Chains A and B, each alone.
Chain A
Amino acid sequence: MSTTPRNLQILTLVTALLGLIALGLVFFYAPREAVMGEVQRIFYFHVPSAWVGGLAFFVTLVAGVAFLRTGDTKWDRVGFSSVEIGLTFSIMTLFSGMLWARPIWNSWWTWDPRLTTFTILLLLYFAYLMLRQGIEDPGRRARFAAVYGIVAFVSVPITYFAIQLARSIHPVLFGAANPNAKGDSSLTPAMLRTFFFCLFTFTVLYVTLLWHRLRLANYAEHVEQLKARLINS
């Protein structure tokens, strides 16, 4: 058993520092939003969480393809580690969004395309974890999970497109303005800088967490092998 690698120790420290700076920027640097007030500051963590969720599930897709092509169980461990982190951040996105929506939209929940797609996304990856739990054989578990990781990721944009054909009230931050959006925000340069810093911080946080989770998965695998050897001897 090795101790935590030096690089990971440094990365963890850097992540913690970035997190503190991000908090500082969010609360002291970014200006108070004129219409929405303090509650708008949720946005700086809400959107990066959603981004990390998407990134994590994309990593699972790539790991799934890599696993099916190479058969290397390392990719399987990357896949499910990434799903666990992605789910955590997706749940954070959902709850931070609800906290924001309550004062701005005057309701915790609306059946908006993004919210609905996001809920379906959560259900897809909960299903991914349940599928893994339901299969005893490790080889089969890895293959099935890889396939489901691919199917799930491909279905999300189609689901979003399908729901999008209905009208949306979610604010669109970049690109085309949504005429039906309620609580639309135009960002000042200071807000944008804060936002991109948070986005960067969350991405680094994802990498750090994935690294830690992978080490845990590797140890779990190692323990399984030791157990198997003990039983066989």
Chain B
Amino acid sequence: MTNSPTDRLPSALGQGLRATFAIVRKDLTAEVRSKELVSALLVFSLLVVLIFNFALELDKAARENVAAGVLWVTFTFAGTLGLNRAFAAEKDRGSFDGLLLAPVDRAAIYFGKLIGALIFMLTVEAIVIPVFSLLYNINLFRPLLLLVVLLGTFGYAVVGTLLASMAMHTRARDVMLPILLFPVAIPVIIAAVKASAGILLASDWGEIAPWINLLVVYDTIFIAIAYMVFDYLVEE
């Protein structure tokens, strides 16, 4: 036995955490070796930013108002694509059944996939944000904005992981995920866009705070629901 910090935790929780991180490590190792998901997401995101550049005349004045919207639409689309791929790959290789056979709590599988999806999305965002700042000459590196990006991405991934594990079993799974996910994720998108726009336009804290609160509330509610219902989704 290696002496990792998780060994010292109470056994049930420790075992759950070990299982969760084993799944995260598996997803990351597969990704580091193939590099297919992150590179595809990255190119896709940059293409979306590019298309927006032509679709909207982003002159100096419009840029500040629209930047938050463009950013979040990009993250939303790239996120759906990433979540779909993460589960489709498991399904196509039949490795998801293997995961289900493992003698671990089903919640560990959910949190493992969630953290994996979150790392992929944040990696892509970590590259898109500087490129966006550069192309549109607008500084996105503000601590508060990064917090909003983190909270928004987390909420989106929480619901997205739950729904992607459903969508992967449907007939038209590639179209199914956005249809299931977008209407549920609308509060995240509204709150994230409003908060980001408020930060970029240097609004008062009083105008930004409600949106950040909303993101926190949304994240909390849906992680609780996902934790309660995920068992039923993978029960075979």
Residues of chain A at the chain B interface (Cβ within 8 Å) = 68, 120, 123-124, 127, 130-131, 134-136, 140, 143-144, 146-148, 150-152, 154-155, 158-159, 161-163, 165
Contact = CB atoms under 8 A, between A and B. Distances in A.
A130 B166 contact: no
Given A147-B232, A150-B229, A123 B210 contact: no
| B interface: dominant SS | helix
A175 B229 CA distance: 36
A143 B233 contact: yes
A130 B210 contact: no
Given A120-B186, A131-B170, A162-B186, A68 B179 contact: no
A152 B190 contact: no
A124 B217 contact: no
A127 B187 contact: no
A65 to B, nearest CB: 10
B187 A131 contact: no
B169 A120 contact: no
Contacts, number: 80
A124 B218 CA distance: 17
Contacts of A68: 229, 232
19 contacts: A120-B183, A127-B183, A130-B176, A131-B170, A134-B173, A136-B171, A140-B169, A146-B232, A147-B229, A147-B232, A151-B184, A151-B229, A152-B184, A154-B222, A155-B183, A158-B217, A159-B187, A163-B190, A165-B211
Given A140-B169, A144-B233, A158-B217, A151 B183 contact: no
A161 B190 CA distance: 11
Interface residues of B, number: 32
B186 A159 contact: yes
A124 B169 contact: no
A162 B176 contact: no
Contact of A147 (B166, B169, B183): B166
Contacts of B176: 130-131, 134
A220 B229 CA distance: 28
Nearest to A139: B235
Given A134-B176, A140-B169, A161-B214, A155 B232 contact: no
